[in-house]
A and B are shown apart, each in its own frame.
Chain A
Amino acid sequence: KAGVTQTPRYLIKTRGQQVTLSCSPISGHRSVSWYQQTPGQGLQFLFEYFSETQRNKGNFPGRFSGRQFSNSRSEMNVSTLELGDSALYLCASSLEVHTDTQYFGPGTRLTVL
C-alpha cells in the first residue's frame, strides 16, 4: 500500500505571499491531520479533517486554513506568510477515529524569506 504523500517536498516563499500544501492519505483512510514542526516550538497540531469536515483545530491564526476533498485528499493554505511560518509541515492519515494509528507523510519544508 502506498504511504502518505505530500507535495511539494520543499518550498521557498517570501513574506506576504500565500502557499498551498497538498496531502494524499493512504488509500482507505478518511482522517487527515496537519502538524507544524519547528526547532523552537516542536510539533504542534494544526487541524484535523474527516469526511470533508474540519473535526478539530489547533491554536493557530486564521491565516492557516485547510480543506478536505471527497477523495480524502487534503490541502493546507497559509496566507500572508511570515518569517515564523518557516517549518516542516507534516500530514498524517488514519482510518477513522482519533485512536487509530496515524501514519505520517514525509512533510513539506517551507522556508519563508
Chain B
Amino acid sequence: QQPVQSPQAVILREGEDAVINCSSSKALYSVHWYRQKHGEAPVFLMILLKGGEQKGHEKISASFNEKKQQSSLYLTASQLSYSGTYFCGTAEYDYKLSFGAGTTVTVRA
C-alpha cells in the first residue's frame, strides 16, 4: 500500500522551514526517509520505528505518530544542499517497503 506524501513540491528560501508529511492507511512498523538529488541514488536520512526508536545521521528531524500512521519530516533552517526529492518509505509487519511519490524541495538563495 503506497503511502501518500504531501506536499508534492515546496520552494523555500535559505533559512526557511518546511514540513513534509507521509501517511498510510495501514498499521506501520517503520517509516524511512530518503533524499534523492537529480541523477543520483537515494540517500538515507532517517528511520522511525514503532515504539519510538529513531535512527538518523543527518541534521534533519522527523516524527512518527503511530496512532495516525503518519510521519513528518522537518526541514529546519534550510540550506541549498537540502534541495532534492524526498521520499518516505513505509513498512508494515511484512517489512516490505512501499514508497510515496516524493516531495520536490527547491531551496533558493
Contacts and interface: CB of A to CB of B under 8 A. Distances in A.
A33 B89 CA distance: 14
Contacts of B43: 104
B47 A45 contact: no
Interface string A79-100: 0000000000010000000110
A61 interface: no
B94 A99 contact: no
Interface stretch (B14-22, B63-71, B73-81, B98-106): B98-106
A27 to B, nearest CB: 18
Nearest to A57: B96
Contacts of A98: 30, 91, 95
A55 B96 CA distance: 10
B41 A104 contact: yes
B101 A42 contact: yes
B59 interface: no
Nearest to B91: A98
Interface residues of B, number: 25
A45 B89 CA distance: 10
Contacts of A56: 94-96
Given A104-B41, A107-B41, A45 B55 contact: no
Question: Which 5 A/B pairs are nearest by Cβ-Cβ distance?
Answer: A104-B41, A43-B99, A98-B95, A45-B97, A101-B44
Interface of B: 2, 30, 32, 40-44, 47, 49, 53, 55, 57, 87, 89, 91, 94-102
24 contacts: A42-B2, A42-B87, A42-B99, A42-B101, A42-B102, A43-B87, A43-B89, A43-B99, A45-B97, A45-B98, A57-B96, A90-B41, A98-B91, A99-B30, A99-B53, A99-B55, A101-B47, A101-B55, A103-B44, A104-B41, A104-B42, A104-B44, A105-B41, A106-B40
